[in-house]
Chains A and B, each alone.
Chain A
Amino acid sequence: MQSQMIKSMVGPAFAAILIMCLLPVVLETYTLTLLVVYGMLGLSLGLIWGYGGILCFGQAAFFGLGAYSYAIAAINIGESTVPVFIGILVPAVVAFLLGAMMFYGRLADVYMGVITLVFTLILFRFMNSTAGPDFVIGKARLGGFNGIPGYQTLNVPGFPDEYIYGDALYYLAFSLLIVIYLLLRWFLKTSFGRTAIAIRENEERVELMGYDVRIRKTLLFSLGGGIAGLAGVLYANWAEIVTPGLFSLGQSAEIIIWCIVGGLGMLVGPIFGGMLIGLMKFLLGQQSMIDNTLILGLVLVLFVLFLPKGVVPTVSKWLPTGRTKSRKRRRKSQGRSRKSEA
């Protein structure tokens, strides 16, 4: 079983590494790094939404928290290794607490949407109002609307002067994305991952089988928060400034759009969606004929109406390779069993 799983991961890993090495031929690594960050952020929501059935309207909150925690810690410590972990840990813990509050209160759909949305708004409002000199954490001034510039960016662990930037940052970010992707593939095969999927399919039934749904959902939510936090850390290193805009509703909306466009219920989908929309925004940003938001909005509406499954599942349906066929068959049989339940 274990060796089989490792074998099944070798293929995707090689494909991913190949993509990582080929992409710089087409685009600058500076742009690509941002796309990778978007991909990772998309993945974090894709995990909790696609596999846990938790639609979070505030994934940007964890992204922003990661970036801010990193920036604040980096200013205070002056070396980047510990801040990276802080940048992952803080959002994960916050997500755990928020998730516990929601899932132990048995909040679902709209109500959960409102809470996550409100949480993001609170952070946004708060960060915007921290302009004065009173708002200081250690040596770091929060800076309100202007954000925090000028913190120590990523360096080789132990050597504060050996910065990782440019091409190196891109390869590091992409490698991290691959590692997370493979870890999540493994994670979804474990009994915890399988239960999470079962909860998405039918929460009541899982509960009746004796599993504690609440703690499982909370942990999954926290995991998603941690990954979003890591994406935030990478973003902070790419942009070299963090601003309250990271917490904005627009940012949260975009992450949801990535998942819809890429395809839910799979790990590659949201990554692909994030990168694709990021690229589209980049290309659209070079012209000023049509407003950027207009096109993004149109894309979302059209996808919800005509392609609600997303690009990746639709495309892979057309590709007659062995693996997708078996997947299709599995999905078919799933559909049948679901129908027979009803």
Chain B
Amino acid sequence: MDLAAVIFVETAYAIASLILVSMGLAVVFGMMRVINLAHGEFMMMGGYTTIVAVKAGINIYIAILIIAPFVVGIIGLVVERLVIRHLYGRLVDTMLATWGLSLFFVGIVTMIFGNTTTGISTPISGFQIGDYQINGYNFFIIVLVILLLIVMYALLKGTRLGLIARGTMQRSDIAAALGYDPERIYMLTFMAGSALSGLAGAVLAPLVGLVPTSGGAYIAKSFITVVAGGPSIITGLISSAASFGFINQVFTFGISPVVGEVALLVAAVILLRLMPQGITGRFFKGKL
């Protein structure tokens, strides 16, 4: 019974962290068809921002939830203005340019912070379920992800801003004809996506030892999750993260964490082979 509870929490956590890691990329790719391969580095910079802020004596929750998204959002804005904006509509070129950016950021952070591991401790302590110890911070992540998803859905579906954003992504020429500036909307969307990446990196920062190359660990996972999710942003994200998280945990508990990782990757290959347009390319069509 205890073990079942632990497994349930761990699975929910695995799914939540996949969603968290992929969210920023999902916004940028799902809405703008821009693959941001520097996504992992945005997360890494969110993590570093948090650590620097906490070490400067700022409350950890303020550092995670406000400062890190803000700083990385600004970085995203600069990147969009300088690089991405010239490359809209050229999928492969954006991929290559953002890959270059990711190397660039790794280099800069290495020069500033050095090639050493830094970290902070988690603000919530663990607790017991029967014989097992569970990390309390995992619950924080699960709740946060649920809240983020609700806010995202409400924002896109319920507000005028979300409507304009979705309209621009579908037909930027019509949006422009109606008097909205697509350039500005793209810019803000990219900024929002970057801020989400920064937030994700910040939330995960207490759990991992951060090095400048940490981003590489996230990018593949998030890339796979988002692409396998397909055209719908939120539904796609949830459905693919749920399937991959579940498969990962089954194999992790059944055999070993390494096999779990490999199983996730193999599952992604098989899934894309069966559904080349992603999950929401076949099911849940037309959902957000």
Contact = CB atoms under 8 A, between A and B. Distances in A.
B partners with A: yes
Contact of A291 (B107, B219, B261): B107
Interface of B: 35, 83, 86-87, 91-93, 95-97, 99-108, 110-111, 216, 219-220, 223-224, 227-228, 258, 261-262, 265-266, 268-269, 272-273, 276
A143 to B, nearest CB: 16
A253 B266 contact: no
A115 interface: yes
Interface in A177-210: none
Contact of A118 (B86, B103, B216, B224): B224
A6 interface: no
Contact of B97 (A107, A113, A294, A300): A300
Given A126-B262, A301-B83, A294 B103 contact: yes
Contacts of B104: 293-294, 297-298, 301
A256 B111 contact: no
Nearest to A114: B227
Contact of B276 (A105, A260, A298): A105
Contacts of B262: 122, 125-126
B92 A296 contact: no
B273 to A, nearest CB: 5
A129 B259 CA distance: 10
Contact of B220 (A101, A117, A253, A304): A117
Contacts of B106: 291, 293-294, 297
Contacts of B276: 105-108, 111
A115 B223 CA distance: 11
Contacts of A299: 100
B99 A300 contact: yes
A214 to B, nearest CB: 14
A10 interface: no
Contacts of A249: 216, 219-220
Interface in A113-131: 113-115, 117-119, 121-122, 125-126, 129
A255 to B, nearest CB: 12
B97 A304 contact: yes
A86 B83 CA distance: 44
Interface string A129-157: 10000000000000000000000000000
3 closest Cβ contacts across the A-B interface? Answer: A294-B107, A297-B103, A300-B100
B103 A105 contact: no
A305 interface: yes
A5 interface: no
Nearest to B228: A114
A110 B227 contact: yes
Contacts of B228: 114
Contacts of B91: 109-110
A304 B87 contact: yes
B211 to A, nearest CB: 13
B272 A293 contact: no
Given A115-B272, A294-B111, 14 more contacts: A101-B269, A107-B272, A108-B276, A109-B91, A110-B227, A111-B276, A249-B216, A249-B220, A293-B107, A294-B106, A297-B99, A297-B102, A301-B97, A302-B100
B107 A295 contact: yes
B21 to A, nearest CB: 15
B220 A118 contact: yes
Contacts of B266: 122
A115 B92 contact: no
Interface in A76-117: 101-102, 105-111, 113-115, 117
Given A114-B268, A299-B100, A293 B110 contact: yes
Interface string A21-64: 00000000000000000000000000000000001000000000
24 contacts: A55-B92, A107-B276, A111-B227, A111-B272, A118-B220, A118-B265, A119-B269, A121-B265, A122-B266, A125-B261, A125-B262, A125-B265, A249-B216, A256-B96, A290-B111, A293-B103, A293-B107, A296-B107, A297-B99, A300-B97, A301-B97, A301-B104, A304-B97, A305-B83
